[in-house]
Structure 1
Amino acid sequence: MDALIEPFEPPAPKPRSQPPSRLQVIKTIYRNPIELWGEPAYANPVLKAKMFNESMIVANQPDFIRHILVDNAKNYRMARVRQLVLRPILRDGLLTAEGPAWKRSRRAVAPVFTPRHAAGFADQMLACSERFAERFAGDGGVHDVALAMTDLTYEVLAATLFSEDPDPNSSLAENVARLLDTMGRVDPLDLLKAPEWIPRLTRIRGRGSLNYFRKMVREMIARRQEMLARGEKAPEDFLTLLIAQQGPDGLTEQEVEDNILTFLGAGHETTARALGWTIYCLANAPREREHVEEEVDRIVDSGLEPVKWLDAMPYTRAAFEEAMRLYPPAPSINREAIADDRWGETEIPAGTTVLVLPWILHRHKLLWDRPNAFIPERFLPENRAKIGRFQYLPFGAGPRVCIGATFALQEAAIALGVLMKRFRFDCTQDTKPWPVQRVTTQPLGGLPMTVTTRR
């Protein structure tokens, strides 16, 4: 890093200097949970707290995190509040299922996401990215990059996993935003442990979007089942695989639907958010953007197969990984101890909520130099080994590690290669995003940017 050039520090809440009141806690968790935390959370390896008379531990020590997510993972289930938020949306999809239902789903979807299988999607990812790029006129028009990346990653998902041609008139991006902004946040009644049968009024506005997704999924399943019933050769994709796994010893009909919805509603959303934040950070970091542009120009012009772009573009990958450090797609991992446990001197009684918060972990003062700055060089191959496995968790860890991590990294490299070779993205006077935690780290206010042709 050139000592004369200060790295870009993208917007983020400043840690609180005073503990919030009970009312402030409720309001902040509903509005934006990442604004809740104070200086101790970003400075201590372990933080103990009480919230509404419940014991809570924030784990920032990598070995402690390994204990929770890997070494003693069987003693930890999904925290109740997290499930209250996500299960109404995803039911028994892979992100929310537990016990036998989770094992069935994981076993069913695993073959699609092996690195070898994911590599086979590269050509489709390239074709989708190139078609999508044609929508940008490149004449300096303003586009909301956050919404655009949602559309792009959905189209990649539709083409690769479902062999579907997405409806160009679909309002998917708007429905995703509405769903996460309504049903994808903690309701005050969840914090107060109100019975689940009491309606969460804050989520009523999201039911239309949820019904939109459920209808989309059912229609998709019906089309494929009709094809199979006619004896036609169906694509050997994720959709066909899940339908084939249905039966007495496999997935239930509802689990098939839930898993398709999980990948449609959440599988592309995390990558979309990471791509948007990457483009935003690079737009504010001219030196780093120049490095990316030089790299993508060289690799794309070389004619190298897209399946090899991720390894051939280390700086572009580093910029993407650094954006995921600053704006982790999944900003919180919540677990609850089933039985009493202990790590070192830390006692963990049964029922304790243990929070592994990538938002905090990735900005922790004990783990990172200049933690709030955008410095892609941290993730270059010669520096990557210095970053501990449980210090950086954009895809989680342990048995429930994100099954689509390889898919997402390959997709990101190809999308950035296509888009940043053709276009330059610049902020406008209205580009003032604020990170908010829903299910993912969303840019409140969107990412309006001018898009001009580079060559």
Structure 2
Amino acid sequence: MDTAPAPFIPPAPKPRSTPPSTLQMIRIVYRNPLELWGEPSYNEPWISVSGIGGPLVIANDPGLIRHVLVDNAKNYKMATVRQKILRPILRDGLLTAEGEVWKRSRKAMAPVFTPRHIFGFAQPMLKRTLAFAERYEGETGTVDIAHDMTMLTYDILAETLFSGEIAGEPGSFARQIDHLFETMGRVDPLDLLRAPDWLPRITRIRGRKTMAYFRRIVADTMAMRSARLAREPEAVPEDFLTLLLRAEGPNGLTRDEIEDNIITFIGAGHETTARALGWTLYCLSEAPWERAPIEAEIDAVLAREPDPTKWLDAMPLTRAAFEEALRLYPPAPSINREPVETDRYKDLEIRKGSQVLVMPWTVHRHRKHWEQPDAFMPSRFHPGNREKIDRYQYLPFGAGPRVCIGASFAMQEAIIALAILLSRFRFETVAETRPWPVQKLTTQPQGGLPMQVTRR
């Protein structure tokens, strides 16, 4: 009698058994915040402590998470520490803007991400993925899948939201985005200590050249499109870039806000999907018993359904594997908030000025919410099981008013990419494949994902 194989346990830091000292904490947060959390973070509904930067609440209970992100969201602003990390990169982009600036930006972008527009992006997504897949034809060596997925999602972003008109060279872009997140995307110890902004942060000094590179790309991209708008307004594509430029004006976005939002989508918008795709291919390579039915599903759907807008609903097993990778390696591993006024949830007091951490990393691996939380088990997201998961225990795209505006875009993009890649190729780990999850804005595989690609 055959027995089912034991689930694959992908790499992750073990929960700490003892709290770190202040010096250890600063070192861990700088090196890799995912290694900071102890057993209580994976077992308790919430933790309220005095941290080095002041009062800290770690929220793991779905009810508390809903309270902070949805029910009483008006009382919570972006946490100061998070803003110190992200604002130097994104300034007033959608991820970091607040108040009226955020409302204007969200309103300006909403038309791009309606279901009608998302479906309209399916064919360009398919086109870019097919073109990308050509590079693996005849491939015999080892490739870094983490790098390649960054290139693929860049190609898709350029084609869909910018109609192929992003200035700069894609290979250089991929290298620079890695350097940007390696430097400016890290928590600086001075931020943890809430030191004044005039004190220089070494990480940001190292990232200035890269930041200037991105600002130059965006300035050139905007200049190209502005020239086309002036020259041939009727022939310009009504894409993300054009909609933002048309939103410029006294009641819309400023020129700087447009630039900030383009940087947000070029940088963070494609990076999150790239990381999730890489982790999915890695997990499937280590769990071939999960991969086999997914390959069969993809083959069957592609044989009968040419319309890529239908693939997301037609491939529940493929979607489940991607969602499980998002659970284990959430692209945005922490959501940080700060109460404007003192708040209360049940018997928990959340004092004004506290830092509230909603961490998908720990919530997604919480012992009270998930069976075998550290295992790669796509069946959790199969039809019939997916509906049993509490909305606020699974947060790959956040929740509430600031839920990721591009969630539907990312899901469609991921399924199209996985369908094409897995229908043609098999991705296998090699001796050098030893990824370690590290938090640098996104959950990245330290050392990349070297893998062997062969024709199926």
Measure the CA separation in 1 of the matches of 2:187 and 2:289: 39
Tell me what 1:308 maps to: 310
Tell me what 2:368 maps to: 366
User: CA 1:433/1:59 → structure 2, altered by over 3 Å: closer, same or farther?
Assistant: same
**Where in structure 2 are the equivalents of 1:108-123 lying within 5 Å?**
108-123=108-123
Return the offset for 1:168. Answer: 5.6
User: CA 1:165/1:238 → structure 2, altered by over 3 Å: closer, same or farther?
Assistant: closer
Return the offset for 1:207. Answer: 1.4
Tell me what 1:13 maps to: 13
Query: 1:450 aligns to what SS in structure 2?
Result: strand
**Where in structure 2 are the equivalents of 1:99-138 lying within 5 Å?**
99-138=99-138
Query: 1:177 aligns to what SS in structure 2?
Result: helix
The answer to whether the 8 Å contact 1:141/1:452 transfers is no
Return the offset for 1:228. Answer: 1.1
User: CA 1:441/1:230 → structure 2, altered by over 3 Å: closer, same or farther?
Assistant: same
Query: 2:331 aligns to what SS in structure 1?
Result: coil
User: Normalization by structure 2: what TM-score?
Assistant: 0.98
Tell me what 1:205 maps to: 206
- After superposition, the CA RMSD in angstroms is 1.1
Return the offset for 1:170. Answer: 3.3
The answer to whether the 8 Å contact 2:165/2:221 transfers is no
Return the offset for 1:404. Answer: 0.3
202-211 or 427-436: bigger deviation: 202-211
Give the gaps of 5 or more residues in structure 2.
Answer: none
Q: Is 2:37 the counterpart of 1:40?
A: no
The answer to whether the 8 Å contact 2:34/2:439 transfers is yes
Q: Is 2:192 the counterpart of 1:191?
A: yes
Give the gaps of 5 or more residues in structure 1.
Answer: none
The answer to whether the 8 Å contact 1:158/1:164 transfers is yes
Query: 1:441 aligns to what SS in structure 2?
Result: strand
- Residue by residue over 1:28-64, the C-alpha shift from the partner in whole angstroms, topping out at 9 and shown as x without a partner, is 0000001001001100011112211611111111011
User: CA 1:157/1:237 → structure 2, altered by over 3 Å: closer, same or farther?
Assistant: same
Measure the CA separation in 2 of the matches of 1:387 and 1:276: 24
The residue type equivalent to 1:189 in the other structure is: L
Measure the CA separation in 1 of the matches of 2:137 and 2:119: 30
Measure the CA separation in 2 of the matches of 1:49 and 1:115: 43
Return the offset for 1:371. Answer: 0.1
The answer to whether the 8 Å contact 1:425/1:452 transfers is yes
Measure the CA separation in 1 of the matches of 2:161 and 2:132: 18
- Residue by residue over 1:386-422, the C-alpha shift from the partner in whole angstroms, topping out at 9 and shown as x without a partner, is 1000010000000000000000000000000000111
The residue type equivalent to 2:102 in the other structure is: W
Measure the CA separation in 1 of the matches of 2:337 and 2:60: 14
Tell me what 1:246 maps to: 248
User: CA 1:314/1:53 → structure 2, altered by over 3 Å: closer, same or farther?
Assistant: closer
User: CA 1:390/1:109 → structure 2, altered by over 3 Å: closer, same or farther?
Assistant: same
Measure the CA separation in 2 of the matches of 1:165 and 1:246: 19
Measure the CA separation in 2 of the matches of 1:437 and 1:351: 24
- Residue by residue over 1:303-353, the C-alpha shift from the partner in whole angstroms, topping out at 9 and shown as x without a partner, is 430010010000000000000000001000000011011001111111111
Tell me what 1:65 maps to: 65
Return the offset for 1:169. Answer: 5.4
Return the offset for 1:298. Answer: 1.1
Tell me what 2:348 maps to: 346
The answer to whether the 8 Å contact 1:62/1:391 transfers is yes
Measure the CA separation in 2 of the matches of 1:308 and 1:157: 20
Measure the CA separation in 2 of the matches of 1:198 and 1:368: 43
170-179 or 426-435: bigger deviation: 170-179
Measure the CA separation in 2 of the matches of 1:338 and 1:3: 54
Tell me what 2:420 maps to: 418
**Where in structure 2 are the equivalents of 1:28-427 lying within 5 Å?**
28-52=28-52, 54-164=54-164, 170-232=171-233, 233-427=235-429
- Residue by residue over 1:168-220, the C-alpha shift from the partner in whole angstroms, topping out at 9 and shown as x without a partner, is 65311111110001000110111122111221012222112111111111100
- Residue by residue over 1:246-276, the C-alpha shift from the partner in whole angstroms, topping out at 9 and shown as x without a partner, is 0011000000000011000010000000000
Return the offset for 1:140. Answer: 2.9
50-59 or 390-399: bigger deviation: 50-59
Measure the CA separation in 1 of the matches of 2:337 and 2:30: 19
Measure the CA separation in 1 of the matches of 2:33 and 2:71: 28
Measure the CA separation in 1 of the matches of 2:260 and 2:410: 21
Measure the CA separation in 2 of the matches of 1:3 and 1:44: 34
Return the offset for 1:165. Answer: 5.2
Query: 1:354 aligns to what SS in structure 2?
Result: strand
The answer to whether the 8 Å contact 1:86/1:96 transfers is yes
The answer to whether the 8 Å contact 1:138/1:423 transfers is no
Measure the CA separation in 2 of the matches of 1:168 and 1:191: 36
User: Normalization by structure 1: what TM-score?
Assistant: 0.98
Query: 1:381 aligns to what SS in structure 2?
Result: coil
Tell me what 2:443 maps to: 441
The residue type equivalent to 2:32 in the other structure is: N
Measure the CA separation in 2 of the matches of 1:302 and 1:212: 45
Measure the CA separation in 2 of the matches of 1:366 and 1:420: 34
Residue identity (%) = 61
427-436 or 113-122: bigger deviation: 113-122
